Structures are given as structure tokens and as C-alpha cells.
Amino acid sequence: SSLTVALGGGAFAFGEGSAPLTALRDAGVRVVRTSAALAAAEPEPGVPLFGFFAPQTLDFAVDRVDPAQPSLAGLTRAALVHLDAPETGFALVIDAGRIGEAVRAGQADRALGEVLAAHEAVAAVRAFAAARGSMTLLVTAAFRAQPAGATRFTESNDDVTLFAEGAGAADLPELGSLDLVAVTAAARAALFGGPLELPTTLVPDGDLRDLRWRAADQRYVSNFGAGFNSLTGLSVDADGHGLTIGLSGAFERRAAGTGNAVIVLVDADFGRATGPNALDGRFNDLDGAADRALSRLNLAAPPVPGFGADFAFALVGGQPIRFNAPPAAGELVAFGGLRGVADRPDDFAWLPSTVNIAPQAVALPGMPGQPVAEPLPTRGLEVSLPWTALYPDGFPQRMRIGLIALLSNGDDCASNQFLPVLPNDPVQPCAGGINALPAVIVADLELSPEGVPAVRNIAIFP
């Protein structure tokens, strides 16, 4: 296939006499630069049409005053006219990309204008499709955006909704909200036919339904406030990228680095006890909120020989972490992430991880506050720990990974929310009854013939 129509901004790179423009014309591409020229351009078989209507990005819809610059709906209608080929079909991508830009900047008028512009473009496609009856329309988003200052991040990797209409739409199952990998799979099925094959890639989006192993469930009502801070269950799975851990429950969202802490101790070689087996003063790294949360607790070792935490994940404040590599700025990870603790108890290694919390599991503090009415077993906090961090020298043929999860106040006070569960419920938080790690979840993994780790068994010791 080849690119037949490309319309938008970017004129600065295609000035008269420039090498890129010369290359396009040498390839037989027709180039237009105004609305009038676009309207006058008749479709010609085999002649691609490119349009550059602004030096860089197109103007926001509410700011557009130059009649030479077409609207998003105008670009859409022109593209459909030039692509209309019933005998071969076509795929058209329309990007209302400035919605997120306006939202992130807190510019409500521009954001609303871009949403309305996108609505007009979708209406143009629906009108075009109604006259033909053989088109599929898919509408989705790349991410959820929020104004700067509302949280640490202006984008979220929460699930997005997929809307489907037209030919083939009825063949898609009722999927609801999807991560972007699944959206891509659904689009592929609609465009090219065949069954919908959802990917096996695990996306840390807070939807725990794709995690195949439910490892532990909670028995006690949280003494940190059930609707605001709870760990109701732990699930786990693996793919070629890394180990994914899901914690269902309620997670209070505060300013990054403040509030309660979710902690997961990770033993990458359970049975060998190569790391510390307790949180009893062996850690002394106070450089950031996550490091302090790990260093301030005083919990003795679990009654399980062979456990030693090589790594620890901590998140303070319930904010997402969206990067997949160590960032340059330490401030972005001070409130959470994966830490290497075995070799550097006084100066943890900051390692890559990706974390997200499903909207249904986020609780907001304040008066009166917004608790999670009933935590769902399929929604919660989901963290992806890359294999390159856990096994930098390559996979062992067989892996045994030990896990312990708990909820603390970010300092020296542990709740009754442990997974595996505590043997007894010390009703009051920070009570003397919580003085040791209770048990260990052990996941046995093996490499598939393709060299991809897969979970084969889950057990709790002792």
C-alpha cells in the first residue's frame, strides 16, 4: 500500500525549492497550500495529494481566521473524495491532536473548540459512509489528558473507549474500555477482516482482567479506611516485556510523594535469600518519598526460609508512572518506582517501572471526599517490572519469584492490609500486633520455546 492523501500543517519543511518538496513533485505528488486549491483539486487516479496549510500545526479552531486554512471537517471531506474507491477500499486516519494540547495547557475554550471540530469531522465521515454502506468507522483516543497542575502528569495511560459503527462493527464483541494495544487489534480486525485476536502483551492500565493468576485475597476490612486505602487482592502474570503485578482495592490519590504508600517486595531468586528478608532498619535511604517509605518500617522477616528481597516497588500518593526507562530527572521518580535494594541498602538503585491505577480504584481525599464505594476485583493498581531490571544478565532457565505486598502510611506505620494476609487482624493501625511480614507469594516461571517467561504455578509459603 502507499500514502495517497496527507493533509495538515508542516509547510515549513516544504518551502519552494526545498529538497523535500522537490522529492514529492519528482514522485508525482500534487501539493496544495490553501482551502481554495484543495477544493479545486480534482481526484486523479494514481496521483497522490498532499496539503500543507500552516507553517507548523494548524490553528486551534477558535483561533482560525485565515480563510486559506481549512477546518478539520474540510480536510476530512476532501480526503474522502480523493480516496473514494469502492473497488479497492481505503483506510483514513483523522487526528484531532490539539484537544490534548489545549487540555494540558488548561485552555478550556480551545479544548472545547477542538472537541467540536472533531465532532464535525466524525459527522462528515458518517454522512459519507451512509451513502455507501460498506465503511467501518472507529473512534477512539490516544490517552486521557488533564490540565497541568491537576496532578503530577498531564496525560494518563488509563483505558480509552472504542466506538465502532458500520460494516463489521457488529462482529466486534462488547469490549468497553480498552488499552491502546487492544484498540489497535480491534481496528485491524475491522479493517482487514478475520476474527478479533486480542494481544497477549500485558499493558499496565489498571484493568486486571488480563492477569491470569490470582495469587492472594484479603480477609480484613482496611483499618486505613476501606473506601480510600485497601489491598483486596493480588494477581500476577508475565509476558516478553516483564512481570506484571496487579493489586485490586482502593488507592487514595494525593500530591505525589504525600500520603500512604503501596509497597511490594520482590525476591527474583526465591530460595537463595540473596537480599534482605525484613524491613527492620536494614534500609537507610531517605532521598525520596518512596525510599523513605521502605526505610522507616520495622517489620521482622516472614517465617519462610529462602526469602530475600532483591527489589522493592513503592508508590507514595497514588500517582501514575508512565515511563519505561530510567528518566533523566530524579524528581519524577522520587515518589515511586522500582528500587534495587539488595546491594545498596543505603542508596537504592532507581530502576524502570510503569504504574497505573484504574479510575474505578482511585479515591480522592478531602471533605467530603470521594471513596471507592466497592473495590472491584478486576480493577486496581497495576505495575510492570521489566525483565531487563529484574534479570539484567539474562533469564535463568527456571525462575521463582517471591512477592509480599503491604500498605503503609509512607512512614513507620503499617496497616492491616498485607498480601499474603496477616494471621490475625490488629483492628487498629500501627498497633503492636503488626511486627513481622506474614508470608510469601511464590510464582514459578519457565521459559517458553520462544524464550518468553510464563507463570506455571502460584503458591503461598508457609
- pLDDT confidence of residue 275: 95
- For 125-193, give the secondary structure using H, E and C: HHHHHHCCCCCEEEECCCCEECCECCECCCEECCCEECEEEECCHHHCCCCCEECHHHHHHHHHHHHHC
- Give yes or no for a contact between 407 and 415, defined as CB atoms under 8 angstroms apart: yes
The phi, psi pair for 452, rounded to 5°, reads: -105, 125
Identify the three-state secondary structure at position 251. strand
- The sign of the CA dihedral 245, 248, 249, 250 is positive
Work out the burial of residue 111: count CB atoms within 10 Å of its CB; fewer than 13 is exposed, 13-18 middle, 19 or more buried.
buried
Q: What pLDDT score does 179 carry?
A: 56
Structural domains for the chain:
5-192 (3.40.720.10), 208-461 (no CATH)
For the segment 110-121, the average pLDDT, to the nearest whole number, is 94
Question: How far apart (Å, rounded) are the C-alpha atoms in residues 198 and 181?
Answer: 8
Phi then psi dihedrals of residue 246, to 5 deg? -115, 130
pLDDT level of residue 452 (50, 70, 90 thresholds): confident
d(CA 53, CA 40): 15
How high is the mean pLDDT of the chain? 87
Residue 438 has pLDDT above 50, yes or no: yes
Instruction: Dump pLDDT digits (tens) for 122-175.
Output: 999 999 998 887 888 888 877 666 555 444 444 555 556 778 888 877 766 555
CA distance linking residue 232 with residue 253, whole number of Å = 17
Share of the chain above pLDDT 90, in %: 60
> Distance between CA atoms of 269 and 186, rounded to whole angstroms?
38
Return the percent helix, strand and coil in the chain, to nearest 5: 20, 30, 50
pLDDT tens digits, residue range 304-350?
A: 999 999 999 999 999 888 644 333 333 346 899 999 999 889 999 99
- Listed residue (66, 78, 1) closest to 37, CA to CA: 78
Residue 250: what are its φ and ψ, rounded to 5°? Answer: -125, 135
Mapped onto helix, strand or coil, the DSSP state of residue 389 is helix
Model confidence over 366-389: pLDDT tens digits? 767 789 888 899 999 999 999 999
* pLDDT tens digit sequence for 69-115: 999 999 999 999 999 977 778 999 999 989 888 887 888 899 999 99
Residue 289's Cβ-count burial label (10 Å; 0-12, 13-18, 19+) is buried
Please spell the DSSP secondary structure of 303-322, one letter per residue.
Answer: S-TT---SEEEEEESS--B-
For the record, the C-alpha cell of 245 comes out as 503485578
Mean pLDDT on 228-235 = 96
> What pLDDT score was predicted for residue 232?
97
φ, ψ of residue 422 in degrees (nearest 5): -70, 150
Distance CA 370, CA 426 (A): 26
User: CA-CA distance, 6 to 72, in Å (whole number)?
Assistant: 13
Q: What is the pLDDT at residue 103?
A: 82
Q: Look at residue 163 in the predicted model and tell me its pLDDT.
A: 81
Q: Is the peptide bond before 368 cis (omega within 30 degrees of 0)?
A: yes
CB atoms within 10 A of CB 264: 24
Mean pLDDT of 22-35: 95
298: DSSP letter: E
Q: What is the pLDDT of residue 175?
A: 55
pLDDT above 70 covers what percent of the chain?
A: 86
pLDDT tens digits along 390-424: 999 999 878 999 999 999 999 999 999 999 999 99
